[in-house]
Structure 1
Amino acid sequence: MRHAIHVPLFGTLADPRAIADIACAAEQNGWDGLFVWDHVLSPVAGEWDIADPWITLAAAATSTERIRLGPMVTPLPRRRVINLARETVTLDRLSGGRLILGLGTGRDVWREYSAFGDDGDPRRLAQVLDEGAAALTALWSGDTVTHRGAVVVDGIHITPGPVQRPRIPVWFGTNRTAGTPIERAARYDGIFPLGMDTAGIARIADTVRAVRGDLDGFDIAVAMRADTDLDRLRAAGATWAVAEFWPGDSPEKVLQVIEQGAPHHTNS
């Protein structure tokens, strides 16, 4: 099992230099990944500064050599796919092939759609996510993608392409344990379940096996607490344990956890 830090880019954690320091400390203390939130509005209007995830991750990439990096998760429906393709390829190349791309629909809880006049209907967002993920991976490779008989991407590709082959790993965030969100993730490389217990992880793993045939090459990243039983999570199918932080947390708090070292399960 691998171990990662997951931080919101709010308040004092909106300083890219602070995140670069956190990334360095994580690498030095045996952690395997640094993931960041991707939001455009504060949970409480005007309460916290917010940083851009791509520039912040670039700072982390140039400060480290080993750990994996990525947004968990980017709401693809509020991004232009061609821009996201260039950002992801550039970051993958800058980091030497260490990017993991987390994707999701996002929600309108903080008005991150409606405040800008965008439609936050969950069904529409799910459709855009499906189409956008297919278009994004096609742009990385130059493949043609069609949807409902219409060409979405036709022979366009980003040059040079990503370092990682066959593609940058794509994970999907979800709070579901079965159904379309899990089946979508199973067609790609991983999943980041939100607020999930061990039984929920086991149900997700069962659904992924049903789609893929097995869990080989598929990651399940699970948020952990101080009392989390990592052995049970691993037995249920988890491959990453993620230490979560929240808006209002400070760089000092994050560093305190990092400097304790990555936790280990008894069977490692």
Structure 2
Amino acid sequence: MRSAVWLPLFDELADPAVVVRLAVTAEEHGWDGVFVWDHLRWRPPVEALADPWTTLAAVAARTSSVLLGPMVSALARRRPQVVARQSSTLDRLSGGRLVLGAGLGSDRFGEEFSRFGEEVDDRRRARLLDESLEVLRAAWSGEPVSHHGDACSLDDVTFLPRPVRGTVPIWTAGFPGKQPPLRRAARHDGFVPVNLEHPDQLAQAVAGIHALRDDRRAPYDVAVPLPVTADLAAFEAAGATWWLADVDPHSITVDGLLGIVRDGPFR
């Protein structure tokens, strides 16, 4: 099981220079990935937030081996044609190290949909998410894209340059006990379970995803957010391929994160 530092870009971590320092330290100590939260607003006491794409570009420029990406991005509130350009650019800057985490998002943590006039209905956001992922796959192909839907409208547009490996891995987030997120996850490259409580939940979700996949031999990742105190070996046995080191966004400090990073990843 590989390990990643998972950073909420809030308050002290809203400074990209701080995140770069953490990412460089993580790489030096053997971590496999550095992923960041993607939010426009969060509930108090959080006051400051950073943009994930700009921050990740700085991380990409100062690291050489860790995978990186937004984990996860609520694509329903982002224009897919813009994300296509951002993702390809970041992937090339990093030498092909980008992973795109994608999900529905939620209005309950910071009202970041309702306060900006974005879609608050989960089912409509799910349709926008699936449409956006379809557009991204088409854009990364390097072929002309024509698409007319609710998320965007494209008329014979070619997106070049392509990502380094011709595409970007997509890990989709969702509740492990619900079928629509599992069906979505089976169509892509990885799954990020939300609110996971027990390894048995994970094992059941992983089995459900693999039963739905067209090519069960293709590589597939399951990235599980868990605190450092969790029984990581049990979740690895249940099917996790990545551990995302989960921290409390309201209480974590830079010094606390440096301690986690310097203790090293799960092996």
* Equivalent AA in structure 2 for residue 223 of structure 1: P
Q: Distance in 1 between matches of 2:207 and 2:94?
A: 33
- In the alignment, what sits opposite 2:44? 44
- In the alignment, what sits opposite 1:82? 81
Helix, strand or coil at the partner of 2:244: strand
Cα deviation for residue 8 of structure 1 reads 0.4
The share of aligned pairs that are identical, in percent, is 41
Q: Distance in 2 between matches of 1:154 and 1:209?
A: 36
Tell me whether 174-183 or 117-126 shows the greater mean CA deviation.
174-183
- In the alignment, what sits opposite 2:98? 99
- In the alignment, what sits opposite 2:234? 232
- In the alignment, what sits opposite 1:252? 255
8 Å Cα contact 1:75-1:104 kept in structure 2: yes
1:1-268, aligned counterparts within 5 Å? 1-44=1-44, 47-109=46-108, 110-141=110-141, 142=143, 144=145, 155-165=156-166, 167-196=167-196, 197-212=198-213, 214=216, 216-248=218-250, 249-264=252-267
* Equivalent AA in structure 1 for residue 256 of structure 2: K
Q: Distance in 2 between matches of 1:63 and 1:156?
A: 32
Q: Distance in 2 between matches of 1:157 and 1:189?
A: 24
- Tell me: CA distance 1:200–1:41, structure 2 relative to 1, closer, same or farther (3 Å): same
* Equivalent AA in structure 2 for residue 235 of structure 1: A
- Tell me: CA distance 1:162–1:69, structure 2 relative to 1, closer, same or farther (3 Å): same
Q: Distance in 1 between matches of 2:238 and 2:148?
A: 35
Helix, strand or coil at the partner of 1:172: strand
Cα deviation for residue 143 of structure 1 reads 5.9
Q: Which runs of 4+ in 1 moved over 3 A?
A: 143-148, 151-155
* Equivalent AA in structure 1 for residue 262 of structure 2: E
Q: Distance in 2 between matches of 1:153 and 1:200?
A: 40
Cα deviation for residue 147 of structure 1 reads 7.7
CA RMSD in angstroms, aligned pairs only: 1.9
* Equivalent AA in structure 2 for residue 160 of structure 1: P
8 Å Cα contact 1:97-1:164 kept in structure 2: yes
Structure 2 gaps of 5+ residues are none
- Tell me: CA distance 1:85–1:168, structure 2 relative to 1, closer, same or farther (3 Å): same
* Equivalent AA in structure 2 for residue 244 of structure 1: D
Q: Distance in 2 between matches of 1:73 and 1:215?
A: 25
Tell me whether 204-213 or 96-105 shows the greater mean CA deviation.
204-213
Per-residue Cα deviation, 1:31-62 (whole angstroms, up to 9, x for no partner): 000110111012127x4210000010011111
8 Å Cα contact 2:3-2:244 kept in structure 1: yes
8 Å Cα contact 2:146-2:157 kept in structure 1: no
Q: Distance in 2 between matches of 1:252 and 1:227?
A: 18
8 Å Cα contact 2:221-2:241 kept in structure 1: yes
Q: Distance in 2 between matches of 1:106 and 1:263?
A: 28
* Equivalent AA in structure 1 for residue 93 of structure 2: L
**TM-score of the two chains, using structure 1 as the length reference:** 0.91
Helix, strand or coil at the partner of 1:69: strand
- Tell me: CA distance 1:134–1:30, structure 2 relative to 1, closer, same or farther (3 Å): same
Per-residue Cα deviation, 1:206-237 (whole angstroms, up to 9, x for no partner): 11111115364110001222332233222211
Q: Distance in 1 between matches of 2:158 and 2:185?
A: 23
- Tell me: CA distance 1:174–1:143, structure 2 relative to 1, closer, same or farther (3 Å): farther
Per-residue Cα deviation, 1:162-185 (whole angstroms, up to 9, x for no partner): 1123x1000011123340111111
Helix, strand or coil at the partner of 1:191: strand
Q: Distance in 2 between matches of 1:227 and 1:119?
A: 36
Q: Distance in 1 between matches of 2:52 and 2:225?
A: 20
Q: Distance in 1 between matches of 2:100 and 2:15?
A: 21
Q: Distance in 2 between matches of 1:69 and 1:17?
A: 16
